[in-house]
C-alpha cells in the first residue's frame, strides 16, 4: 500500500457533505431535532470528515424501545443462529480491514499499523464470542428429594447500553456488542462523540452479517444528551462502560438506584516493575511499546517504571535511547510510529501535567514539548525537508502556545520521560493518559511493591524479573486485575480483562467472565419424570 492510499481514499469518502444519522430499528434516521455536529480529522484538525447526529433523549428512547421490542424475539433465537451471525461479522471485519483502518486513523489519529491491528483484534474477539453463544453454562444439581430435579439455567438480561471511549473506536464496541449478541441480549450503543465514524461502518457490517433490525442500535451525540438518559432509562437492564473513573462512578450511582447491572472498565496508573532483571534492553523495549502505543492514550498503558536503584541508571539510559528513536507523524506517513493526541483539549491537559511534573521537582529527561511533524505545505505528509523524521519541529510557541501548524496538523507531544520522581508527586499518582512515562527508584523489593500499590488504581502491571519466587510473590501482592510477567501489558482475546480498586467494577470483559454480566441466573425445581 502506498502512503498516499489513505489520503486518496479519504478524499473520495469524507467531507462536509457526508451526513450520518442514527441507526435505530434497522434503519438510518436523522436525530429527532435534525441537529448534527462536525467531526474533524485528528491529524489534520482543519479537515472535516463528516457530520453526525447530535441526538437527545427522544432519540435514546426510540433506540431503547426498538431494542426492547427486538429482544422479545432475539432472546429466543437459537445459539447456532447467533453464532453464525457473529462468525460472518468477523469475516466482514477482516474483509473491510483497510477501509476501517483508514477511518479509524482519520478520526482517532493512531498510526495505520495500530489501526490494522485493532481491526484484526476486533475480528478475533467477534470470532471468540461466536463460540461463546454455544458455551452458556448451566447445570443439574443433586436433589435432596428424589421426586425433584434441581437445575441452574442462564438467561439474557435484556437491553444493554454499550458506551465506548474514543481511544479504541473499533475493538471496544465489538468487545461489548459481540458478547451481548452471543448471550441473547440487544444493544443500544453510544460511541464517543470524538470518534463516531467507524461506528457507522460497524452498524453496516452487523446488518450485512444478518443481525435483525433493532437488535443493535446506534445513537451518536454528547454524554449529557445521550449518555445520561441512556444510563437512566428504565428498560436498560445493564450498562457496559469503558472510560474515566469519575464518569464510571456517576454511571454506577445512577444504575444502582434501579438495580441495573454495570460492567465498568475505568482508569489506570499501571506500573512496570524492573527487579534484578538480566535483560534490561528487552525490558526497556517492552516498556516503551506498552507505554507509547496509541500515543499513551489507553487505560493499560504503562505510565510508571519502578526500578531497583542499582539498575536505574542503565534502564534510564536505554529508555532515553529507545524513546529518542520513535518517529512521530500522521498515520499515512511512511515509518510513523506515534500519531497525534485526539484533540486540542486533551493535548492541553497532558501539557499541564508535564508542567506540573517540572514544578514538583521531577527531572525532565526527555521530551516535554509540543512538536509539529509536518512539512510546510501542511497536509501532504511527504518529507520536504521541513521536519525531522524522529521528533518533528519543536513548537516555537512552547508548551501552551498555538501556531498555524498546530491547528492544521494535529496535536503532537514528544515522548516524555521524567526521572527523580517521588511517590507523592501527582505525575506518579494520577492518570495522565498521554505519552508521559515516570521513573521511580526503590531500595528493595518491599518498597517496589509498596510504590506499585500506592495509587487508587489497580488495572494492570508488568513485572520484569529472573526470579520465579519474586514473580509468584508479586502475582499475589500486586493490587491489580491483570499482571504480566516479563512482557508488556498486552491482553489476549479469551482471557478476562478488568481491574481492581478504582480501575473497574462488575464482571471482567473479553473472556467467558462476560457471562456474569450479560446473563442472569435462575434455579429451576422440576417435580416428576
Q: Tell me which residues are annotated as active site.
A: 265
Q: Which of 178, 451, 435, 483 is nearest to 319 (CA)?
A: 435
Helices and strands in the chain: count of H runs, count of E runs:
17, 26
Distance (Å, rounded) from C-alpha 199 to C-alpha 218?
8
CB atoms within 10 A of CB 403: 14
Handedness of CA 457, 460, 466, 469 (dihedral sign): positive
Give the Å distances, CA to CA, from 460 to 118, 272, 485: 20, 9, 11
Query: How open is the CA angle 17-213-164, to the nearest 5 degrees?
Result: 65
* Residues comprising the chain, all counted: 529
What torsion, rounded to 10 degrees, do the Cα atoms 125, 126, 131, 134 define? 130
CB atoms within 10 A of CB 309: 11
Distance (Å, rounded) from C-alpha 86 to C-alpha 74?
14
Place of cell 526527555: 366
Q: Which three cell numbers stand for residue 151?
A: 437445575
Question: Is 192 in contact with 164 (CB distance < 8 Å)?
Answer: yes
Q: Which three cell numbers stand for residue 202?
A: 460497524
The gap between the terminal CA atoms of the chain, to the nearest Å, is 66
Residue 262, SS3?
strand
Residue 433 makes CB contacts below 8 A (sequence gap 6+) with: 267, 296, 297, 301, 346, 349, 350
Q: State the DSSP code for 338.
A: B
Distance (Å, rounded) from C-alpha 500 to C-alpha 479?
7
Amino acid at each position: 500500500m502506498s502512503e498516499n492510499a489513505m489520503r486518496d481514499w479519504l478524499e473520495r469518502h469524507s467531507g462536509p457533505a457526508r451526513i450520518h444519522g442514527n441507526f435505530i430499528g434497522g434503519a438510518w434516521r436523522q436525530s429527532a431535532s435534525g441537529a448534527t455536529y462536525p467531526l474533524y480529522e485528528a491529524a489534520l484538525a482543519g479537515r472535516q470528515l463528516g457530520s453526525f447526529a447530535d441526538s437527545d433523549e427522544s432519540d435514546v428512547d426510540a433506540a431503547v424501545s426498538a431494542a426492547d421490542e427486538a429482544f422479545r424475539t432475539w432472546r429466543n433465537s437459537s445459539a447456532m443462529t447467533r453464532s453464525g451471525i457473529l462468525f460472518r461479522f468477523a469475516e466482514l471485519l477482516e474483509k473491510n480491514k483497510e477501509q476501517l483502518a483508514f477511518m479509524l486513523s482519520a478520526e482517532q489519529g493512531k498510526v495505520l499499523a495500530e489501526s490494522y491491528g485493532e481491526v484484526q483484534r476486533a475480528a478475533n474477539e467477534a470470532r471468540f464470542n461466536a463460540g461463546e453463544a454455544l458455551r452458556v453454562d448451566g447445570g443439574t444439581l443433586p436433589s435432596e428429594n428424589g421426586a425433584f430435579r434441581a437445575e441452574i439455567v442462564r438467561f439474557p438480561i435484556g437491553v444493554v447500553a454499550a458506551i465506548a471511549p474514543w481511544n479504541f473506536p473499533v475493538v471496544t464496541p465489538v468487545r461489548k456488542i459481540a458478547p451481548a449478541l452471543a448471550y441473547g441480549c440487544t444493544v443500544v450503543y453510544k460511541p464517543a462523540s470524538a470518534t463516531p465514524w467507524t461506528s457507522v461502518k460497524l452498524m453496516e457490517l452487523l446488518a450485512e452479517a444478518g443481525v435483525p433490525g433493532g437488535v443493535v442500535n446506534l445513537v451518536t451525540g454528547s454524554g449529557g444528551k445521550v449518555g445520561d438518559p441512556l444510563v437512566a432509562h428504565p428498560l436498560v437492564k445493564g450498562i457496559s462502560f469503558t472510560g474515566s473513573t469519575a464518569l464510571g462512578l456517576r454511571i454506577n450511582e445512577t444504575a444502582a438506584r434501579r438495580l441495573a447491572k454495570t460492567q465498568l472498565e475505568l482508569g489506570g496508573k499501571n506500573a512496570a516493575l524492573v527487579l534484578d532483571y538480566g535483560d534490561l534492553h528487552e525490558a526497556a523495549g517492552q516498556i516503551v511499546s506498552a507505554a507509547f502505543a496509541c500515543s499513551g492514550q489507553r487505560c493499560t498503558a504503562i505510565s510508571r517504571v519502578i526500578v531497583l536503584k542499582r539498575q536505574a541508571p542503565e534502564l534510564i539510559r536505554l529508555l532515553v535511547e529507545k524513546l529518542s528513536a520513535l518517529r512521530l507523524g500522521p498515520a499515512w506517513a511512511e515509518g510513523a510510529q506515534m500519531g497525534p493526541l485526539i484533540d486540542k483539549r486533551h493535548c492541553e491537559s497532558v501539557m499541564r501535567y508535564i508542567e506540573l511534573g517540572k514544578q514538583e521537582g521531577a527531572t525532565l529527561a526527555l521530551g516535554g514539548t509540543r512538536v509539529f511533524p509536518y512539512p510546510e505545505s501542511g497536509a501532504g505528509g511527504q518529507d520536504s525537508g521541513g521536519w525531522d523524521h524522529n521528533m518533528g519541529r519543536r513548537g516555537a510557541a512552547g508548551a501552551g502556545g498555538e501556531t498555524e501548524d498546530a491547528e492544521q496538523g494535529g496535536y503532537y507531544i514528544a515522548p516524555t520521560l521524567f526521572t527523580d520522581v517521588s511517590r507523592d508527586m501527582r505525575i506518579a499518582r494520577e492518570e495522565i493518559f498521554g505519552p508521559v512515562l515516570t521513573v521511580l527508584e526503590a531500595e528493595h523489593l518491599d518498597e517496589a511493591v509498596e510504590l506499585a500499590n500506592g495509587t487508587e488504581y489497580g488495572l494492570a502491571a508488568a513485572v520484569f524479573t529472573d526470579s520465579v519466587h519474586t514473580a509468584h510473590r508479586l502475582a499475589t501482592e500486586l493490587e491489580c486485575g491483570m499482571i504480566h510477567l516479563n512482557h508488556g501489558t498486552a491482553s489476549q482475546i479469551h482471557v478476562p480483562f478488568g481491574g481492581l480498586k478504582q480501575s473497574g467494577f462488575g464482571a471482567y470483559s473479553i473472556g467467558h467472565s462476560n457471562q456474569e454480566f450479560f446473563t442472569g441466573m435462575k434455579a429451576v425445581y422440576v417435580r416428576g419424570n
